[in-house]
């Protein structure tokens, strides 16, 4: 294994189709028109010295090191800013160039510290490399003149010296080492799109400045790491590199945070991660990252990780550490006992959207083949199950239609119920780049999210709807499209069922669905909505991106169908730049759904009642499968309270914190006799567990994740599991303990089984992933290299299906007692229940969940910025601090669910999507009032959690049983 | 509390200027010019307001303001003297005149006297090389400076 060195071509690739031929140092090379001379040289294998150029940003031409001579042209043009031309003859190394370059380097080095041996960038410094490349041997100017390097000079403080900024928890900014190439500034602008950095001053006084001469932490910086990656010196340097040293090998793997599925190089020293660096060839992220994937991996070695299996009789007992064998034997015995006593259906399992496809596949196999029932569900139940249902009905597949690259061809984006700058930051950066290039944006969201307006981007329309009225707004959009004749008749006639369209069109054309009629309850101004509809229908390639603000409603599935209707009616499906794109929340939630995690579906979304499908698995697994769908998570909990469901195996999910109506989840778990939690940490659910099986992180196992664009990405093991076993091995051994004759030596064998049984994965092998880097399903005989864009020539189900979408208001209503609407979401620095990110330095940005409230509502209640407030609903109450902001509309409050101390889900109700039981997290009627301290629930909860997390010390052990 | 209300005042006056000049093409420099006219300098507190108004980042506005020497971080004295320090003026004895003037005023470059009567600044070429050494006093250019004129100037601005 070696360190993967990616080639830096200096300037971005040209997309031109026409090519030109030129000669560089005697080599003839053909490159696309618009390519820089620098890039063309690199493609010919000739590295022109450079400092301010790097291929993640546009050419700038400031360092004067990359000069070349071109026959027939005067002077020494910069190769980065000079485009190639037909017949050009370039010399990159002449006596004149050598002298100029050496002179330039002398100037740089005269104002740079000479501490290379003790510098953190030693071995990874482009300035050092360039000094070597140009043959710098002497600095005639000396080091005693004015400089930015020395803190004190001639016995006095040096006014130009600036101390290191160590405010960011993950990287430092040392202005003394800065050569003002402005790569960081351009990376922040062009790649990340935050514009947090600038060059302040001019001439010799030029400095990189975060914000207005602020520290990184107090500036607009979102810590995506693009500047650190761009920096050619140690000026911006990861603290982990400062602490550990340079990595010696690297492995390409996939981030385990959100559904974007960024590819990273895990740069290692032995089994220690030195840093995670986004991989340029990653097709989801194209070399970009966010603060979570880039920096927040420290949880993998956090002291809170549980490394030994533990068992206890009662949840009030302290935990007792046991061997793996004892733990497996105990679970097998208990599960068999429960099935004997209460029936086959008394136990079940929950698969994890954070684990690999292979691991998820094994858990559902354990339930179906081992438990002999179909009581398997997954956390997608609480996020994107309506996507699966809605898109399945309309198009025939339960997944997004595009790849992320599709946004490069989009003209108009509708963003509904998603906040990508926080939830899917790398996609947000790609979208923002397109917005700066002129793409139009329509935001449908109760909050004024950053994409509505922030530096250099502004939505054309923001429709600030009242939470819970998605269907009404989307149907009103359809009303405008139909009544104003903006639909694409040719597309509909060819690709959809015309009579179904006519039926749907007559439904949406009803004046009751007009923007003017619906404005009363949606709160969206009719004219704004009409403008948005016209823009989407007639603005060119229209793409819809949506998130949990669509699905987590009582009408989540209906909203998904309404989205599909809009896309079909306007012909925006089946080519690059258009489509319907769910932004999936977790790294492998797409994969978990694909792998048959739902009680009614076998892998590949095939209903369990189908005998041919069952037959495939029955033959391979040698068991008979139950044709009846099993229990969903909420039904398991109900059945537990009723006494018929007694045991559960939960892999990598914290249902107590993430699922709605915490009190009901708690009651269900408390009623069970054997709760097995398989996780990295003693999560909130583990407080009610009888067996704890330690889990492994994404760094410790092989497998695959499937991201929001159906892309199957490899996860590669870079260190041994600290708990001894990868998660797939734990499930495997548990199955073996239960008497199942399973044998897998490597996750690739599990993938082979998936491919053998699931048509959309038929061609997927680890070897193929090794060759291609990644593939998007369907990947089979018809599409051997995978499918970037779906429904190209026709819908998977045949004809696209238009479905009437009648708006039905949620039963959750505001009233005198609960006059405000609470909606929930997430924030950039934290991920989901926070189990991982709370155990990293990301807490520097978001140490607690806060309640966003509009100034009017705060004023009425006498609430000031930072006050502790009580948030109560019909379900429960909790206390948290308030932030007063106009991002939320009057009458709406907002919070996140990252911290167990807040327990936002104590507040949320048990209303769910009519089709899929996906909880209605996004709408809860609440009241907010000043508070003196934590609520009784929070105090009781804290006490129970502390009590439940005790681990008995070895010497104090009592004999087992 | 007082500084907060001062900032609120700056913000609302800045907003008015931004609102008025925003329709211009490339409105940032005209806005900064008018802000300096309004306040006598470009207050730090006006930067985020400009950024928000023009949909830029704070950093970008700071980058522009700090690039131009003419935008002040603090109000200038009643009189502003800019003395040319460029090559032509230096060759015509500008250095001695500069030292003389600084000595008379008891100030160093960029400083404003405690009595706030005068601010002295270097400038690099007023385009008056033919009349070197040159200076600019409160916007009026003066050519062919000599010791006597410097003495008079120092006296006049301190009156």
Q: Which residue of B has its CA nearest to A216?
A: B59
pLDDT bracket for residue A955 (50, 70, 90): low
Residue B7 touches partner A, C-beta closer than 8 Å: no
Highest mean pLDDT among A153-157, A801-805, B17-21: B17-21
| Mean pLDDT, rounded, for A877-893 | 92
pLDDT bracket for residue A936 (50, 70, 90): confident
Chain A neighbours among B 17-76 (CB < 8 Å)? 44, 47-48, 51, 55-63, 66-67
Summarize pLDDT for B51-83 with one digit per residue, the tens: 999 999 999 999 999 999 889 999 999 999 999
Provide, as residue numbers in chain B, all residues whose Cβ is less than 8 Å from the Cβ of A199.
63
Q: Which residue of A has its CA nearest to B71?
A: A201
Residue B159, pLDDT above cutoff 90: no
User: Could B61 and A194 be called an inter-chain contact, meaning their C-beta atoms sit closer than 8 Å?
Assistant: no
Annotated domain spans of chain A: 19-133, 152-301, 310-383+588-772, 388-582, 820-948
Q: Which residue of A has its CA nearest to B70?
A: A201
Q: How distant is the Cα of B150 from the closest Cα of chain A, in angstroms?
A: 30
Summarize pLDDT for A106-136 with one digit per residue, the tens: 999 999 999 999 999 999 999 999 999 999 9
pLDDT value of residue A954: 62
Residue A104, pLDDT above cutoff 90: yes
Of B55, B62, B67, the CB nearest to A212: B62
Share of chain A above pLDDT 90, in %: 81
CATH 3.40.228.10 fits A388-582, yes or no: yes
| Mean pLDDT, rounded, for A571-590 | 92
Whole-angstrom distance, CA of residue A788 vs CA of residue A404 = 9
Instruction: Tell me the average pLDDT of chain B.
Output: 92
Provide, as residue numbers in chain B, all residues whose Cβ is less than 8 Å from the Cβ of A200.
62-63, 66-67
Instruction: Tell me the average pLDDT of chain A.
Output: 93
pLDDT value of residue A535: 97
Taking any CB pair shorter than 8 Å as contact, residues of chain A touching chain B are 194-202, 209-213, 219-220, 453-458
Summarize pLDDT for A62-95 with one digit per residue, the tens: 999 999 999 999 999 999 999 999 999 999 999 9
Summarize pLDDT for A239-272 with one digit per residue, the tens: 999 999 999 999 999 999 999 999 999 999 999 9
Annotated domain spans of chain B: 2-67, 79-158
Q: A452-461, A675-684, A896-905, B11-20 — which is least confidently predicted?
A: A896-905
Residue range A310-383+588-772, CATH number: 3.40.50.740
Summarize pLDDT for A384-399 with one digit per residue, the tens: 888 888 998 899 888 8
Q: How distant is the Cα of A193 from the closest Cα of chain B, in angstroms?
A: 10
**Rg, Å, chain B Cα set:** 18
pLDDT value of residue A554: 87
B127 contacts: CB under 8 Å, gap ≥ 6:
none
pLDDT value of residue B1: 43
Residue A957, pLDDT above cutoff 80: no
Closest Cα partner for A467 from A825, A162, A880? A825
Closest Cα partner for A524 from A449, A443, A580? A443
Residue with tokens 């000094």: A131
Element (H, E) at A822: strand A820-825
Q: A655-664, A864-873, B121-130 — which is least confidently predicted?
A: A655-664
Residue A672, pLDDT above cutoff 80: yes
**Encoded tokens for A728:** 């797939």
CA distances from B93 to A134, B97, B147 (A): 42, 7, 10
Of A219, A457, A458, the CB nearest to B59: A219
Of B44, B55, B67, the CB nearest to A212: B44
Q: How distant is the Cα of A205 from the closest Cα of chain B, in angstroms?
A: 9
Residue B149 touches partner A, C-beta closer than 8 Å: no
Residue with tokens 């209903």: A607
The CATH homologous superfamily to which domain B79-158 belongs is Glutaredoxin (3.40.30.10)
Of A200, A210, A455, the CB nearest to B56: A455
User: Could B63 and A219 be called an inter-chain contact, meaning their C-beta atoms sit closer than 8 Å?
Assistant: no
Q: How distant is the Cα of A207 from the closest Cα of chain B, in angstroms?
A: 10
Provide, as residue numbers in chain A, all residues whose Cβ is less than 8 Å from the Cβ of B55.
453-458
Residue B124 touches partner A, C-beta closer than 8 Å: no
Of A202, A455, A458, the CB nearest to B57: A455
* Top CATH class, A820-948: mainly beta
Residue B109 touches partner A, C-beta closer than 8 Å: no
- What is the DSSP code string of B97-128? HHHHHHHHHT--TT-B-TTSSEEEEEES--S-
User: Could A212 and B61 be called an inter-chain contact, meaning their C-beta atoms sit closer than 8 Å?
Assistant: yes
Residue range A152-301, CATH number: 3.30.70.20
pLDDT value of residue A812: 81
| Mean pLDDT, rounded, for A601-621 | 92
Torsion of CA A211, A217, A221, A224, to 10 degrees: 150
Residue B2, pLDDT above cutoff 80: no
pLDDT value of residue A961: 43
User: Could B60 and A220 be called an inter-chain contact, meaning their C-beta atoms sit closer than 8 Å?
Assistant: no
Summarize pLDDT for A178-207 with one digit per residue, the tens: 999 999 999 999 999 999 999 999 999 999
**Encoded tokens for A869:** 């407030």
pLDDT value of residue B3: 58
User: Could B59 and A209 be called an inter-chain contact, meaning their C-beta atoms sit closer than 8 Å?
Assistant: yes
Residue A884, pLDDT above cutoff 80: yes
pTM confidence score: 0.92
What are the strands, taking DSSP E only, across A553-646?
579-582, 601-602, 606-607
Residue A960, pLDDT above cutoff 70: no
Residue range A19-133, CATH number: 3.10.20.740
pLDDT value of residue A911: 83
């Amino acid at each position: 294994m070696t360190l993967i060195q990616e080639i830096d071509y200096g300037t971005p690739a040209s997309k031109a189709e026409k090519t030109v031929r030129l000669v560089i140092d005697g080599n003839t090379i053909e490159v696309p028109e618009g390519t820089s001379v620098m890039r063309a040289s690199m493609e010919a294998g000739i590295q022109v010295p450079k400092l301010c150029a790097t291929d993640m940003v546009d050419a700038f031409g400031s360092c004067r090191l990359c000069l070349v001579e071109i026959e027939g042209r005067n002077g020494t043009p910069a190769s980065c800013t000079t485009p190639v031309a037909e017949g050009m003859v370039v010399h990159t190394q002449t006596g004149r160039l050598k002298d100029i370059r050496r002179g330039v380097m002398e100037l740089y080095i005269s104002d740079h510290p000479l501490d290379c041996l003790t510098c953190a960038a030693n071995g990874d410094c482009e300035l050092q490399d360039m000094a070597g490349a140009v043959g710098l041997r002497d600095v005639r100017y000396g080091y005693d003149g004015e400089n930015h390097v020395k803190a004190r000079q001639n016995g006095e403080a040096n006014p130009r010296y600036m101390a290191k900024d160590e405010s960011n928890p993950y990287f430092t900014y040392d202005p003394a080492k800065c050569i003002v190439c402005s790569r960081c500034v351009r990376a922040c602008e062009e790649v990340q799109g935050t514009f947090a950095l600038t060059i302040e001053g001019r001439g010799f006084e030029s400095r990189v400045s975060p914000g207005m001469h602020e520290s990184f932490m107090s500036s607009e910086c979102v810590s995506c790491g693009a500047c650190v990656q761009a920096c050619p010196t140690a000026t911006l340097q990861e603290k982990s590199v400062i602490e550990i040293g340079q990595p010696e090998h690297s492995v390409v793997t996939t981030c385990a945070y959100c559904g974007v599925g960024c590819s990273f190089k895990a740069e290692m020293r032995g089994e220690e991660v030195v840093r995670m660096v986004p991989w340029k060839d990653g097709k989801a992220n194209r070399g970009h990252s966010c603060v979570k994937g880039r920096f927040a991996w420290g949880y993998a070695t956090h002291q809170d990780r549980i490394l030994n299996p533990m068992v206890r009789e009662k949840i009030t007992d302290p935990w007792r550490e046991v061997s793996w064998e004892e733990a497996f034997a105990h679970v097998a015995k208990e599960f068999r006992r429960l099935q004997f006593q209460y029936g086959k259906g008394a136990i079940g399992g929950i698969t994890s959207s954070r684990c690999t496809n292979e691991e998820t596949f094994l858990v559902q196999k354990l339930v179906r083949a081992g438990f002999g029932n179909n009581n398997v569900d997954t956390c997608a139940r609480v996020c994107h199950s309506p996507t699966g249902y809605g898109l399945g009905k309309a198009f025939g597949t339960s997944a997004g239609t595009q790849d992320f690259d599709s946004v490069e061809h989009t003209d108009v984006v509708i963003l509904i119920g998603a906040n990508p700058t926080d939830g899917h930051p790398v996609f947000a950066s790609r979208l923002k780049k397109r917005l700066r290039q002129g793409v139009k944006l329509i935001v449908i969201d109760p909050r004024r999210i950053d994409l509505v307006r922030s530096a250099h981007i502004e939505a054309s329309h923001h429709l600030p709807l009242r939470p819970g009225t998605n269907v009404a707004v989307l149907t009103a959009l359809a009303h405008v499209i139909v009544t104003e004749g903006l639909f694409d008749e040719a597309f509909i006639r060819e690709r959809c069922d015309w009579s179904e369209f006519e039926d749907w069109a007559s439904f949406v054309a009803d004046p009751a669905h007009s923007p003017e009629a619906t404005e009363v309850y949606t709160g969206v101004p009719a004219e704004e909505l009409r403008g948005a509809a016209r823009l989407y229908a007639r603005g060119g390639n229209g793409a819809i991106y949506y998130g949990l603000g669509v699905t987590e409603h009582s009408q989540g599935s209906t909203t998904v169908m309404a989205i599909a209707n809009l896309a079909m009616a306007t012909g925006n499906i089946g080519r690059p730049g258009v489509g319907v794109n769910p932004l999936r929340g977790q790294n492998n939630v797409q994969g978990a759904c694909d792998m048959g995690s739902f009680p009614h579906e076998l892998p590949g979304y095939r209903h369990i009642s189908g005998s041919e499908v069952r037959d495939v698995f029955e033959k391979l697994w040698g068991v008979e499968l139950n044709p009846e769908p099993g229990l969903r998570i909420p039904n398991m909990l109900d059945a537990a309270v009723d006494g018929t469901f007694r045991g559960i195996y939960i892999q990598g999910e914290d249902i107590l914190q993430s699922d709605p109506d915490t009190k009901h989840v708690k009651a269900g778990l408390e009623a069970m006799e054997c709760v097995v939690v398989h996780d990295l940490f003693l999560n909130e659910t583990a407080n009610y567990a009888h067996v704890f099986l330690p889990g492994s992180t994404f760094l410790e196992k092989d497998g695959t994740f499937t991201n929001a664009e159906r892309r199957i990405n490899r996860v590669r093991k870079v260190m041994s599991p600290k708990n001894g076993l990868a998660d797939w091995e734990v499930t495997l051994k548990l199955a073996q303990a239960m008497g199942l004759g399973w044998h897998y030596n490597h996750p690739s064998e599990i993938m082979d089984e998936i491919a053998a049984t699931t048509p959309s994965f038929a061609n997927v092998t680890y070897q193929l992933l090794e060759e291609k880097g990644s593939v998007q399903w369907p990947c089979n005989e018809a599409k051997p290299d995978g499918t970037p864009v779906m429904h190209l020539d026709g819908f998977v189900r045949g004809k696209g299906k238009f479905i009437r979408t009648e708006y039905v208001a949620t039963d959750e209503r505001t009233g005198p007692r609960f006059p405000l609407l609470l909606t929930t979401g997430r924030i950039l620095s934290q991920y989901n229940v926070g189990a991982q990110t709370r155990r990293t330095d990301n807490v520097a940005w978001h140490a607690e969940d806060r309640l966003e409230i509009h100034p009017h509502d705060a004023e009425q209640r006498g609430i000031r910025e930072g006050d502790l407030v009580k948030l109560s609903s019909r379900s429960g109450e909790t206390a948290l601090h308030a932030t007063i902001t106009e991002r939320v509309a009057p009458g709406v409050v907002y919070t996140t669910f990252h911290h167990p101390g807040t327990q936002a889900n104590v507040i949320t109700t048990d209303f769910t999507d009519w089709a899929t039981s996906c909880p209605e997290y996004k709408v809860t009627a609440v009241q907010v009032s000043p508070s003196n301290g934590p609520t009784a629930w929070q105090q009781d909860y804290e006490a129970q959690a502390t009590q439940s997390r005790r681990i008995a010390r070895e010497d104090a052990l009592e004999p087992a049983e | 509390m007082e500084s907060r209300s001062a900032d609120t005042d700056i913000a609302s006056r800045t907003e008015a200027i931004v609102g008025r000049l925003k329709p211009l093409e490339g409105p940032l420099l005209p806005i900064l010019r008018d802000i300096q006219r309004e306040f006598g300098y470009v207050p730090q507190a006006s930067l985020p307001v400009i950024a928000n108004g023009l949909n830029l980042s704070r950093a970008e506005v700071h980058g522009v303001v700090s690039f131009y020497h003419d935008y002040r971080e603090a109000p200038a004295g009643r009189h502003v003297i800019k003395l040319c320090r460029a090559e032509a003026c230096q060759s015509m004895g500008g250095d001695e005149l500069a030292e003389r003037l600084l000595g008379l005023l008891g100030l160093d470059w960029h400083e404003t006297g405690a009595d706030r009567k005068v601010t002295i600044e270097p400038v690099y070429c007023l385009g008056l090389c033919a009349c070197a050494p040159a200076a600019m006093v409160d916007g009026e250019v003066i050519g062919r400076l000599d010791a006597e004129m410097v003495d008079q100037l120092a006296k006049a601005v301190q009156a």
